[in-house]
Amino acid sequence: MSPRAEATLDAPRAPVGWPAWRLRDAVIAGELGVREVVRAHLDRLDEVEPWLNAAAAIRRESALAEATDLETRLAGGEQPGALCGVPVTVKDVIATAGTPTACGSPAFAGNVPEVDAVAVGRLRAAGAIVIAKTRCPEFAFGVTTPGTRSPWGAHSPGGSSGGEAALIAAGASAVGIGTDYGGSLRWPAQCCGVLALRPGAGALDGTGQLPGRGGRMDGRPGAPGPDSVQRHFQVIGPIGRTVRDLAIVLATLGARQLPAAGPQEAGGDSGGLRERRIGWVPGEDSERVGDDARAALAGAVGALADAGLNVEPAPGSLDGLHVAFNA
């Protein structure tokens, strides 16, 4: 890591760096105020942003006002949501009402959506506070995020959800949402040392991705049309620092077929997973998988089997997909 990165990205001070579930529990218990939590993350964002350049827009005043309003409602007896008081970030291709959403493109500079994407609306309804929009390559096409750095030095944070992964890894956001077409959640997560999950196509409502499906932006230059491949396969999904946080966000966004018991602590009930089959594939036929990756996968498979889950090999099920994807 470069000296500048080390100086800029010192370990965050509590409650910054806590997982989303812990922040929510602290707010509900009265240990922390919503405004206190949001301000701490905005301060961390100000601290790391000169190095990262990961935020496309920062909602400081709006986020603090929303935090104050939520505190008032909680004091009045409102039931806390699953992400009550949690600061979140949103990728620049997901519509956020009243906040610039430019899709990483000069063509949409100054675009301010009038309504939230469905996913953003559900985060807000669960008590989350959006503190920033995050940078991505133009129209979310690319494996790097131009101009954005990793928290771990002068490296790429990956793409296309690179800004999202960088801010979460740096502790400036508790959890967030990005999009994934061919790895745009998973690749930046591994580049920055955090976690992400691509839901299956159709598992979540993707309405509100921009340039939009049937929306007023579709006619502008460079916008993929409503019947493009991107519209069919690009999905919205979570990025976070713990598996439990990912599960909470997925449930909040309305993911189908999640275990009814919700996120579990290690060693707890599997929430119905023991009745399901989990397939695994050691690789596919066009790209060699490194020995370290194979070893990590084998370890995960063994751990799942030891936990009593039904894990079965599915050899050949991915053969040809890499070639087809790049065709």
CA neighbours closer than 13 Å in the CB half-sphere of residue 19: 16
Instruction: Tell me if residue 184 is catalytic.
Output: yes
Element (H, E) at 244: helix 243-252
CA 177 to chain centre: 3
Report which of 178, 244, 263 is spatially closest to residue 18, judged by C-alpha positions: 244
Let me know: does 219 contact 105? Beta carbons within 8 Å: no
As given in the structure block, the two tokens for residue 265 are: 């602590």
- The helix/strand/coil state of 216 is coil
Query: Is the omega angle on the peptide bond into residue 211 within 30 degrees of 0, that is, cis?
Result: yes
Residue 91 annotated in active site: yes
CB atoms within 10 A of CB 321: 12
From the candidates 105, 150, 160, 173, give the one annotated as an active-site residue.
160
Whole-number Å distance between alpha carbons of 265 and 173: 23
Q: Is the peptide bond before 160 cis (omega within 30 degrees of 0)?
A: yes
DSSP-assigned states of every residue in 231-287: HHH-EEEEEESSHHHHHHHHHHTT-TT--TT-S--TTS--TTGGGSEEEE-S--SSS
Q: Which two tokens stand for residue 58?
A: 């920062």
| Total residues belonging to the chain | 327
Selecting among 91, 105, 150, 161, the annotated active-site residue is 91
Q: Which residues are catalytic?
A: 91, 160, 184
